[in-house]
């Protein structure tokens, strides 16, 4: 069995505030994007995992694909498989590539072993692996709140029919921890929130208004430490993009052009 786990972009990202558990509540729109990895899974006598493409540091057991298999094995008692992952989605980019790989692993195992767990159960399992993993189960444009795990289908894709380009400056990588460290005070976050248009409403506006209405709260601090990311965003505008923004906590930037 072979699938192509796709990445996502964040169409706007608001940090609403810090939770008691140390995480932050967010408001964002997840949109599926076409850049994909390749994932193959087949039943085997013993578990095997192989990965090529973009090199990923760490042991195999640290890979979200392997963690997804181990979780499914504990929950359902499935047998051994051989997994081959070809990595094309860059990491440290805000594209959710690892989360997508994990979610697709769960879906493939569900089908391969005819478990028939259903979307809700798979989302519950995915949420144990990462905040944005659950999005890739249904993989449709969604409004996300909580830590990114409370999902409401958007019902439309604001960039449908537009030309999308995603680039990551060579050598740039931003950890989520670094991005959060650069956020302002809780008072500043709250004040910003009062001035904002709800993302679901902003997404319905004409594309030429998105630049003034839709923001990514991580951009200010990330751009200060990584000016090449800011330069890429401006280059997209110089090349005629109707809207451009850093996705997630960076370092990738996307731009959209009228078709």
> Do residues 95 and 161 make contact, with C-beta atoms less than 8 angstroms apart?
no
Bond before 251 cis per omega within 30 degrees: yes
Q: How far apart are CA 138 and CA 181, in angstroms?
A: 31
Of 37, 101, 110, 132, the catalytic one is 132
**N-to-C CA span, the chain:** 35
DSSP structure class, residue 197:
P
142: helix, coil or strand? strand
For 151, 207, 212, the CA distances from 124, given in Å and listed in that order, are 12, 34, 36
Q: Is 132 considered catalytic here? A: yes
Name, in order, each residue with C-beta under 8 angstroms of 202's C-beta and a sequence gap of 6 or more: 12, 209, 210, 213, 214
36: helix, coil or strand? strand
Counting Cα atoms < 13 Å in the Cβ hemisphere of 7 gives 26
Q: Is 192 considered catalytic here? A: no
Of 8, 87, 107, 168, the catalytic one is 8
Residues with a catalytic annotation lie at 8, 132
């Amino acid at each position: 069995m072979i699938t192509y786990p796709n990445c996502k972009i964040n169409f706007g990202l608001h940090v609403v505030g810090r939770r008691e558990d140390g995480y932050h509540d967010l408001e964002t729109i997840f949109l599926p994007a076409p850049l994909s990895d390749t994932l193959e899974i087949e039943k085997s006598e013993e578990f095997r995992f192989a990965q090529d493409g973009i090199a990923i540091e760490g042991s195999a057991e640290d890979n979200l694909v392997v963690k997804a298999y181990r979780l499914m094995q504990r929950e359902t008692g499935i047998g051994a498989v051989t997994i081959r992952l070809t990595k094309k989605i860059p990491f440290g980019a805000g594209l959710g590539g690892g989360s997508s790989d994990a979610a697709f692993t769960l879906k493939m195992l569900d089908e391969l072993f005819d478990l028939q767990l259903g979307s809700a159960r798979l989302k519950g399992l995915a949420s144990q692996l990462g905040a944005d993993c659950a999005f890739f189960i249904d993989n449709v444009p969604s409004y996300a709140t909580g830590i990114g795990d409370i999902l409401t289908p958007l019902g439309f894709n604001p960039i449908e029919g537009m030309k999308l380009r995603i680039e990551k400056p060579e050598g740039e990588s931003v950890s989520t921890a670094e991005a959060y460290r650069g956020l302002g005070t809780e008072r500043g976050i709250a004040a910003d929130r009062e001035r904002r248009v709800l993302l679901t409403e902003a997404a319905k506006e004409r594309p030429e208004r998105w630049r003034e209405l839709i923001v990514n709260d991580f951009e200010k601090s990330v751009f200060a430490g990584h000016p090449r990311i800011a330069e890429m965003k401006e280059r997209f505008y110089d090349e005629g993009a109707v809207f451009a923004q850093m996705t997630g906590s960076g370092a990738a930037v996307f731009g959209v052009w009228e078709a």
